[in-house]
Structure 1
Amino acid sequence: MSDDWVALLGVKGGPAIRPGSNMPTSILVRIGGRTVLVDAGLGVARGVCDQGVPLTGIDLIVVTHLHSDHYLELGPLLHTAWTAGLTRPVPIIGPAGLDDYWRHFLSSMAFDIDLRIADEGRVPLAPLAQIATLNDGVVFNEDGLKIEAIRNHHPPIEDSFALRLRAGGKCLVLSGDTAPFDGWDAAVAGADLLVHEAMLTAGVDAVIAGLAHPDPRLRDHILRAHTDAADLGHMATRAGVKALALNHFVPDGMAQFTESHWTDAVRQGWSGPLTIGRDGQRISF
């Protein structure tokens, strides 16, 4: 079995959870001897531990964009890792504005943080997050692991990125949240594993109808900012990826949309290895 793997800690699209739904998006990657967390949605700390990885064992964190379902639990994750014994800085790469989130999180937790430093002898928490700005191009290149960020298409957010991770001759691509965009095929071409968000266009109206306060603006956002599963299948074939896994499902947790709906949609254009992701699922590549 390969030493390189992806764990889908949460596969739900969007920030809300309900009975029967999955958790929002977070992905844990083991590649090139490093443990990388991509996004930190609600439930990420529990998800990391459920993979047998201590919170103090994360080597790098990348946040793909500043929608809450991708970074809501970043502060609590780091705080919890700190209480679990984290004393070394953790590199964090994320879009402009992520440092403001961290600063305000520290301010909101100042009483607890200061108390634990004084009363328990803990190291200062603030310097443990070494935040760098995520932009197009190579964002990490150390000890054989190279990570490239590709600006995708997730309007109205401009700073939204897919990631290409390479190590040991293997290539993993994580789509982030995106609709099809110029260069989409090239961004994922030849990936040993492509983990891509997916939407069932037919299910979007069901999502909106189930909301307490439905608004047509949300429907418009979903349709213009995400990728229909059928389109994804065709793209994966064109780009020559070796295996495909789906995450960030829209809709999610609705009994009328089963795994077969996702499979049937993707299989319109893709005949290769296919994983319909679920929370906690680990995929070797």
Structure 2
Amino acid sequence: MIDRRSLLTLAVGAAGAFAAPGVLAQSPKPRTRIVFLGTKGGPRVGVGAANPANLVVVNNTPFVIDCGMGVSRQLVSAGVPLPSVKYILISHHHSDHNLEYGNLFYNAWAAGLSTPIRSFGPKGLEAMTRSFWELNKFDVETRIEDEGRPDPRPLLIAKDINDDGVVLKTEDVTVTASRTPHPPITDNFAYKFETPDGVIVFSSDTAYNPKLAEFAKGADVLVHECLYVPAVDRLVLKTKNGATLKKHLMDSHTSTADVGRIAAAAGVKTLVLSHFVPGDDPEVTDDDWTRDVKTSYSGRIVVAKDLMELKLPV
């Protein structure tokens, strides 16, 4: 019987820089890699793709970008021990990006975490962190006393991001934030990772934003959200709040055609499509996601799948 990882290997193994976690276990791990933990946009939880989350690993240091529902399980499925996570970055305060923020840290603590995790996100992250500890005070203090665990509260070090600029700098990685519009949310950040093996940019959820092309100029990899208009039209027909939902989606996200324009203007080497809107329409094919992108962008295009990995340099 061929398991899910084997199928993923068959699907993407020929892409050169891509592999499933099982493949990496049989060969030396690259110094820098991206794992697409959850590729479906939106808060709905289903049996298909997981909710939004990404992972960058540089010299064995994991950076988690966004914490949609299921991020802890996806990290484990990707072969990443939860206590090894060092950094969490939240792009914006929509639930499909922050709902498992506190729980990811808690799950790492339950798995043996004893070293700090630093987290970064738009204004409100520090308050959210305090609220998480208040919500879970009884459980945490019971387990400290009853199980001899270290107090986790000092180990989650949260910092609000108020402006564009460098938010994190380590020996290997510099992370820079750039505000991008996601109406009605304005405190919403794209992130750029400058690594020893290349530059990676995550668009966050965003309306069409030419300034994002400037931010991603010359990047080795641009991971960009995308919206497929015909599928949105099908979605709103079966949704009670269809008209309102469609206006939000069209105002707040980037169509596949406009994603191509951003990638072309930025001159990125590889464009990865992810955070699919909608992400659970079985009629949408990879060709549908890429067709309009190709009208503007002639570079390498990858349609992300859950647990797919991309090694750098590409």
For the criterion TM > 0.5, the same-fold answer is: yes
- Which residue in 2 is equivalent to 1:240? 267
2:181 to 153, 162, 168: 153
The answer on 1:210 being equivalent to 2:234 is no
1:126 to 153, 170, 185: 153
Q: Which amino acid aligns with 1:204?
A: V
3-state SS in 2 of match to 1:75: helix
1:142 to 165, 170, 173: 170
Mapping for residues 249-268 of structure 1, pairs under 5 Å: 249-268=276-295
Does structure 2 retain, via aligned residues, the 8 Å contact 1:175–1:194?
yes
2:42 to 3, 10, 14: 14
- Which residue in 2 is equivalent to 1:187? 215
- Which residue in 2 is equivalent to 1:101? 128
Q: Deviations over 1:137-161 (max 9, x none)?
A: 0101121311100001111111101
2:114 to 81, 87, 92: 87
> TM-score w.r.t. structure 2 length?
0.86
> TM-score w.r.t. structure 1 length?
0.95
Mapping for residues 13-52 of structure 1, pairs under 5 Å: 13-19=41-47, 21-31=48-58, 33-52=60-79
- Which residue in 1 is equivalent to 2:104? 77
User: Which 4+ stretches in 1 moved above 3 angstroms?
Assistant: none
Offset at residue 280 of structure 1 (A):
1.0
Q: Which amino acid aligns with 2:262?
A: M
State the identity %: 36
Q: Which amino acid aligns with 1:12?
A: K
Quote the Cα distance in structure 2 between the aligned partners of 1:258 and 1:170.
30
Q: Which amino acid aligns with 2:182?
A: H
Quote the Cα distance in structure 1 between the aligned partners of 2:83 and 2:171.
20
Offset at residue 32 of structure 1 (A):
5.2
Does structure 1 retain, via aligned residues, the 8 Å contact 2:210–2:262?
no
Q: Which amino acid aligns with 1:140?
A: L
Number of aligned residue pairs:
283
Does structure 1 retain, via aligned residues, the 8 Å contact 2:61–2:84?
no
3-state SS in 1 of match to 2:292: helix
Quote the Cα distance in structure 2 between the aligned partners of 1:255 and 1:38.
26
Q: Which runs of 5+ in 1 are unaligned?
A: none
- Which residue in 1 is equivalent to 2:306? 279
Quote the Cα distance in structure 1 between the aligned partners of 2:238 and 2:138.
39
Q: Which runs of 5+ in 2 are unaligned?
A: 1-16, 18-29
